[in-house]
Amino acid sequence: MSVAEYKQQSEVNHLSLSGSVIPPPTKLTELRKVELPHMCTTVSTCQGSTYVGVDIEPDNRLRECGEIIRIGTDSKVNSFAEFDGNIYGLAIDGSMMCTTSGVSPQVVSVHDLSTGKLVRSWNHSETIQYYSNSLAIVGGEHVVIADRSNKRLSVYTLTGQIIKQIPCQKLQGANMAMCAADNDSVIVSDYHSDSVYRISITPGRVLWEYRHFQRFEGVTCYNYQYVLAVTRGEKLKIQILDLKTGE
């Protein structure tokens, strides 16, 4: 989704926390375009700023590198943090930013959002490389990360302790996306299985599944009441689903 769409998502979440009731969106309007120096892999927003994961081509560096850049409300692009290897996931919650990067094994990193400094990191068992958001911070305490090599979701604390492994046979191929739904569940979109589904991390079960369109490429929550799922056919389309039921 574009920077404009994610900015709108951030503003809507702020309003929802203040108790305002917002109906489902009827359209998205592009506010502006921002030129990026490298290929974008993932994006998230917080407090008016947009954070974008980009890949730096090997001919520009001695090895493959990833970088998080921050786009402020003035549209200025600034470097925020650099990584070894490509960036495969990015999630922000409160004062912290969590990423996955590297190849085999992938590395999970937690950064201070105010300074960009690394707080801690640990290895994650995923070995499949992909270019879509692969993790979510749930309830400000847990990090849920896809592990498609073993067809499961891994749930960690923000200090890197593994809490549980949730079997998830639906995870297929390389293209998927994830976002937090509430303090106990995540929404997953999967390009190869043509489905969007909600999984509770406590019992580790699927709460609902939506399969009426094909080639899902991205997902985000809107006002904590709706799910916006992006599908790619001849044109990009956004499907609006009820967060509670998936309808």
Question: Which has the minimum average pLDDT: 2-11, 194-203, 222-231?
Answer: 2-11
Residue 241 in this model has a pLDDT that exceeds 70: yes
pTM summary value: 0.82
Polymer length of the chain:
247
The whole-number pLDDT of residue 96 equals: 92
> pLDDT tens for residues 133-178?
778 999 888 999 988 888 889 999 999 999 999 988 877 666 788 8
Distance, CA of 163 to CA of 155 (rounded, Å): 5
Provide the token pair at 70: 């921050």
Distance, CA of 142 to CA of 242 (rounded, Å): 24
Handedness of CA 120, 205, 244, 221 (dihedral sign): positive
Provide the token pair at 13: 């979440």
> pLDDT tens for residues 85-95?
888 889 998 88
Tell me the pLDDT of the chain averaged across its residues.
82
Provide the token pair at 130: 């992909």
In CATH, the number for domain 3-242 is 2.130.10.10
Distance, CA of 133 to CA of 218 (rounded, Å): 8
Residue located via tokens 């008016």: 48
> pLDDT tens for residues 200-230?
998 889 999 998 877 777 888 888 899 988 8
> Which pLDDT band, with edges at 50, 70 and 90, does 1 fall under?
very low
